C-alpha cells in the first residue's frame, strides 16, 4: 500500500501535530482562565476595593480587611518559614551530608512539601484551635508557616549545594570556623537564591484557602487584623470562598475581583522569583 518511508513520515507528522496540540491546550487553558479573570474581575477593580472592608450584600464595599489579613498572616508565616527553613536547609547542605538522619529529614521534608494542604490545616486545628478554644489569626499563620517551610528548606539546600566547594575551603584556609564560613561566605554568596526560596514559599501560601478555613475561619466584624491575632481573621482567599458560594450577584463580582488580585499577585511573585533565581544561577 504505502511505502515504509511514507508511513514513517506520516506517523511523524501525526506525532508532531499531537504534541503541538497538547501545548496549545495547555497554553489555551492559561489564556482562558486569565481571560475569565479579567472579564469578570477587571470592571470591579477600583479604589474602594483597597479602602473599604467586605460588605454585606447590597452595600458598597471592598476587600481591604481580607487583603490586610492575608498580608499579616502571610508575613508572620513567612518569618517563621524563612528562619527555620534556612537553618534546616543549611544543616542539610552543610552538616548532614549523606548521613542516615540527613536523608530521613530530606525525605520527610519532601513528604511535608507534597502533603495536601488541608491536612496541615487539620493538624493546626487539633493542636492550636481546639485546645485554645477558638479560631485565630495566629493559628492561620501557623498553618501557612508549616506550608511554606518545606519550600524554603528545599530551595536553601539546592542553592547552598550550588556554591563551589573551593569557596568553603578558601574560608577555612583563612582560619574561619565552619559556621563562620557558612554565615559570612556561603549565605552571602547564595543570598539571591535564598530570596527565591522565600518568594516561592510566599507565592504558594498567599493563595491557600483550605488550611485557613478551620484555622483563621474568616471574620467580617471590621478590622481586627492588625490588632488582635487571637481572634478569627479575615483573608482574601477566605472572602473569595465565602462570596463565590453566595447567590448574590454583587458579592460574586467581588469574589472575581479578589481572584484576579490574588492570581496577579501570585504570578508577579512567581515571575520575580524565577527571574532572580536565573540571575543567581548565571553568576
Q: Among residue numbers 195 through 234, which ones bind another protein (CB under 8 A)?
A: 203-204, 206-210, 213-214, 217
Nearer to another protein, 174 or 226 (CB): 174
> Which 44-73 positions form the footprint of another protein (CB under 8 A)?
none
C-alpha triplet 152, 153, 156: angle, nearest 5°: 80
Nearer to another protein, 195 or 255 (CB): 255
253 part of the interface to another protein, by CB under 8 A: no
6 part of the interface to another protein, by CB under 8 A: no
11 part of the interface to another protein, by CB under 8 A: yes
Q: How far is the CB of 228 from another protein (least distance, A)?
A: 20
Choices 50-58, 67-75, 162-170, 262-270; region in contact with another protein by CB under 8 A: 262-270
Binding test (CB under 8 A) with another protein, winner from 30, 47, 166, 247: 30
Nearer to another protein, 126 or 226 (CB): 126
Nearer to another protein, 149 or 225 (CB): 149
Nearer to another protein, 75 or 180 (CB): 180
43 part of the interface to another protein, by CB under 8 A: no
> Which 153-182 positions form the footprint of another protein (CB under 8 A)?
153, 177-180, 182
Q: How far is the CB of 195 from another protein (least distance, A)?
A: 17
Q: How far is the CB of 153 from another protein (least distance, A)?
A: 7
40 part of the interface to another protein, by CB under 8 A: yes
Q: How far is the CB of 220 from another protein (least distance, A)?
A: 15
Closest among 85, 71, 95 to 148, alpha carbons compared: 85
Taking a C-beta distance cutoff of 8 angstroms, is the pair 250, 58 a contact?
A: yes
The number of CA neighbours under 13 Å toward the Cβ of 133 is 0
Annotate each residue in 96-125 with x if it binds another protein (CB under 8 A) or - if it does not, as one string: x-----x-xx-xxxxxx-xxxxxxx-xx-x
> Residue-wise over 130-164: b if at least 16 C-beta within 10 A, else e?
eeeeebbbbbbbbbbbbbbbbbbbbbbbbbbeebe
Amino acid at each position: 500500500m504505502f511505502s515504509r518511508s511514507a508511513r514513517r513520515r506520516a506517523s511523524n507528522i501525526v506525532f508532531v501535530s499531537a504534541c503541538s496540540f497538547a501545548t496549545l491546550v495547555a497554553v489555551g487553558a492559561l489564556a482562558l482562565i486569565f481571560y475569565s479573570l479579567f472579564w469578570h474581575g477587571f470592571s470591579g477593580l477600583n479604589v474602594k476595593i483597597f479602602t473599604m472592608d467586605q460588605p454585606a450584600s447590597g452595600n458598597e464595599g471592598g476587600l481591604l480587611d481580607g487583603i490586610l489579613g492575608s498580608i499579616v498572616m502571610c508575613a508572620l508565616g513567612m518569618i517563621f518559614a524563612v528562619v527555620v527553613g534556612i537553618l534546616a536547609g543549611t544543616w542539610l547542605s552543610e552538616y548532614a551530608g549523606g548521613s542516615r538522619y540527613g536523608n530521613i529529614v530530606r525525605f520527610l521534608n519532601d513528604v511535608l512539601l507534597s502533603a495536601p494542604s488541608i491536612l496541615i490545616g487539620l493538624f493546626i486545628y487539633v493542636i492550636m484551635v481546639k485546645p485554645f478554644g477558638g479560631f485565630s489569626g495566629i493559628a492561620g499563620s501557623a498553618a501557612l508557616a508549616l506550608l511554606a517551610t518545606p519550600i524554603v528548606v528545599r530551595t536553601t539546600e539546592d542553592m547552598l549545594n550550588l556554591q563551589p566547594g573551593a569557596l568553603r575551603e578558601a574560608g577555612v584556609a583563612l582560619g574561619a570556623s565552619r559556621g563562620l564560613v557558612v554565615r559570612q561566605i556561603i549565605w552571602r554568596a547564595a543570598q539571591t537564591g535564598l530570596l527565591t526560596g522565600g518568594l516561592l514559599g510566599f507565592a504558594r501560601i498567599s493563595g491557600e484557602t483550605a488550611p485557613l478555613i478551620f484555622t483563621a475561619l474568616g471574620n467580617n466584624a471590621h478590622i481586627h487584623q492588625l490588632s488582635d491575632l487571637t481572634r478569627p481573621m479575615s483573608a482574601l482567599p477566605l472572602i473569595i470562598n465565602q462570596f463565590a458560594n453566595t447567590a448574590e450577584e454583587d458579592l460574586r463580582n467581588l469574589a472575581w475581583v479578589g481572584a484576579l488580585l490574588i492570581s496577579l499577585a501570585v504570578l508577579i511573585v512567581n515571575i520575580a522569583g524565577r527571574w532572580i533565581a536565573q540571575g543567581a544561577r548565571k553568576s
